[in-house]
Amino acid sequence: MISFENVGLRYGMGKEVLKDVSFTLKPGSLHFLTGPSGAGKTSLLKLLYLAKRQSRGLISILGKDLSALDRSELPRMRRRIGVVFQDFRLFDHLSAFDNVALPLQIKGAKKSQVADYVGELLNWVGLQDRMHAKPATLSGGEKQRVAIARAVINKPDLLLADEPTGNVDPEMAMRLMHLFEELNKLGTTIVIATHDMGIVKEIGAPTLRLDDGNLTILPGTKGPYIKTSQPAWKRT
Ligand SMILES: Nc1ncnc2c1ncn2[C@@H]1O[C@H](COP(=O)(O)OP(=O)(O)OP(=O)(O)O)[C@@H](O)[C@H]1O
Ranges of beta strands (E only) in the chain are 2-10, 16-25, 30-34, 56-61, 64-65, 81-84, 158-162, 189-193, 207-211, 214-218
pLDDT of residue 67: 86
- CA end-to-end span of the chain: 23
- Residue 215: closest CA among 199, 231, 203, 204: 231
CA-nearest residue, atom 24 of ligand 1: 37
pLDDT at 235 over 50: no
Q: Give the residue-averaged pLDDT of 65-90.
A: 91
Domains of the chain (ranges, CATH numbers):
2-80+156-234 (3.40.50.300), 90-151 (no CATH)
Q: How far apart are CA 126 and CA 113, in angstroms?
A: 20
Q: What pLDDT shows up at residue 182?
A: 87
Q: Does the ipTM exceed 0.90?
A: yes
pLDDT top residue among 232 and 188: 188
What would the pLDDT profile of 112-170 be if each residue is shown by its tens digit?
999 999 999 999 889 999 999 999 999 999 999 999 999 999 899 999 999 999 888 99
Q: Mutual orientation of helices 111-124 and 96-107 as an angle, nearest 10°?
A: 140
For the CA atoms of 166, 167, 170, 173, what is the dihedral angle to 10 degrees? -70
Give residue 186 CA to ligand 1 midpoint distance, Å.
Answer: 32
pLDDT, position 172: 87
Report CA-CA distances (Å) from 106 to 21, 138, 151, 228: 35, 24, 13, 33
Per-residue pLDDT at 45 exceeds 70 = yes
Q: How confident is the model at residue 213 (pLDDT cuts 50, 70, 90)?
A: very high
CA-based nearest residue to 35, from 218, 227, 226: 218
Residue 16 confidence (pLDDT): 97
Distance 56 CA to ligand 1 centre (A): 18
Sign of the alpha-carbon dihedral angle for 190, 152, 11, 193: negative
Q: Would you place residue 226 in the very low, low, confident or very high pLDDT band (cuts 50, 70, 90)? A: low
Average pLDDT, the chain: 91
Length of the chain: 236
Q: Is residue 4 scored above 90 in pLDDT?
A: yes
Residue 71's pLDDT is 86
Of 17, 46, 197, which is best to mutate to test ligand 1, by the most ligand atoms within 8 angstroms of its C-beta? Answer: 17
The predicted pLDDT at position 227 comes to 46
Three-point CA angle 47, 52, 98, nearest 5°? 85
- The pLDDT assigned to 228 comes to 47
Ligand 1 atom index nearest CA of 35: 21
